[in-house]
């Protein structure tokens, strides 16, 4: 039964519908840098990105390297009337927890630490599998989680919150920009570049052994 199903899935994956005009077309295997467009409406059907796995792996590793300083070093500080105060993301969460806002502390940890870290680790592992040409059922499951958790990683929201807070506070005190802030920005850029370099269709095909 499962064999028949996987055969049917394989047959179905040979077909591709144009997202603009619904024309059904037989999928062609593209080489790196090649682009397939619809013969009827000329819209782009698929693009095979150049050196996708290596580039994605490189930016994901860069993100992982930025992760520890982004979490542990001071992000922002304030200086007013001779008093200075700086804190890192982990200290912020500890302070929220100590203020008995337990749910907020758990949510911030989940969306700003656990989900982004898990997604970076997953994509590193998957890119290693793709580069080694290994098909993997666990890989496919992890790739699904990678997509499902996309909306739950909220590094950008946190960054936006910091910018707004900074704007509000600047009139009252002078801000100190910590090393953690640069690392956090680097983490954010790396996480964005991962989605830019990732060739989604290519990864599905590699992990399911269609290539």
Element at 148 (helix H, strand E): helix 137-148
CB of 16 to Zn ion, least distance (A): 10
Nearest CB to Zn ion, comparing residues 38 and 89: 38
Residues 22-41 that bind Zn ion (CB under 5 A): 23, 38, 40-41
Nearest CB to Zn ion, comparing residues 45 and 76: 45
Strands (E), the chain: 15-17, 24-26, 35-37, 44-47, 76-80, 83-87, 174-177
- Residue 45 interacts with Zn ion (CB under 5 A): yes or no: no
Helix (H, G, I), strand (E, B) or coil at 35: strand
CB of 39 to Zn ion, least distance (A): 8
Do the Cβ atoms of 197 and 56 come closer than 8 Å? yes
Determine the interface stretch with Zn ion among 10-18, 29-37, 109-117, 128-136 (rule: CB under 5 A): 10-18
**Euclidean distance between CA atoms 197 and 51, whole angstroms:** 9
CB of 21 to Zn ion, least distance (A): 3
CB of 34 to Zn ion, least distance (A): 18
Considering only 21, 104, 165, 170, the residue that binds Zn ion (CB under 5 A) is: 21
Tokens coding 48: 């095979």
Nearest CB to Zn ion, comparing residues 20 and 150: 20
The footprint of Zn ion on this chain (CB under 5 A) covers a number of residues equal to: 7
- Residue 20 interacts with Zn ion (CB under 5 A): yes or no: yes
Do the Cβ atoms of 182 and 106 come closer than 8 Å? no
CB of 44 to Zn ion, least distance (A): 10
**Euclidean distance between CA atoms 183 and 159, whole angstroms:** 12
Nearest CB to Zn ion, comparing residues 20 and 79: 20
Other CB atoms within a 10 A radius of the CB of residue 134 amount to 13
Q: Please name which of 94, 126, 130 lies closest in space to residue 113, comparing C-alpha atoms.
A: 94
List residues near Zn ion by CB under 5 A.
18, 20-21, 23, 38, 40-41
């Amino acid at each position: 039964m499962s064999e028949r199903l996987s055969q049917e899935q394989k047959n179905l994956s040979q077909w591709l519908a144009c997202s603009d005009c619904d024309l059904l077309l037989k999928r062609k295997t593209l080489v790196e840098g090649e682009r397939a467009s619809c013969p009827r409406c000329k819209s782009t059907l698929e693009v095979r990105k150049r050196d996708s796995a290596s580039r994605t792996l490189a930016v994901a590793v860069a993100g992982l390297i930025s992760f520890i300083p982004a979490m542990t070093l001071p992000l922002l500080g304030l200086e007013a009337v001779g008093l200075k105060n700086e804190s890192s993301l982990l200290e912020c969460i500890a302070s929220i927890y100590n203020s008995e806002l337990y749910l907020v502390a758990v949510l911030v940890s989940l969306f700003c630490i656990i989900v982004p870290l898990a997604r970076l680790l997953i994509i590193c592992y998957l890119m290693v599998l793709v580069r080694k040409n290994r098909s993997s059922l666990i890989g496919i499951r992890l790739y699904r989680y990678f997509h499902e958790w996309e909306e739950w990683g909220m590094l950008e929201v946190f960054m936006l919150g910091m910018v707004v807070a900074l704007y509000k506070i600047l009139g009252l005190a002078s801000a100190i920009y910590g090393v953690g802030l640069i690392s956090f920005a680097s983490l954010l850029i790396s996480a964005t570049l991962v989605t830019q370099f990732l060739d989604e269709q290519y990864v599905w095909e590699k992990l399911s052994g269609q290539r």
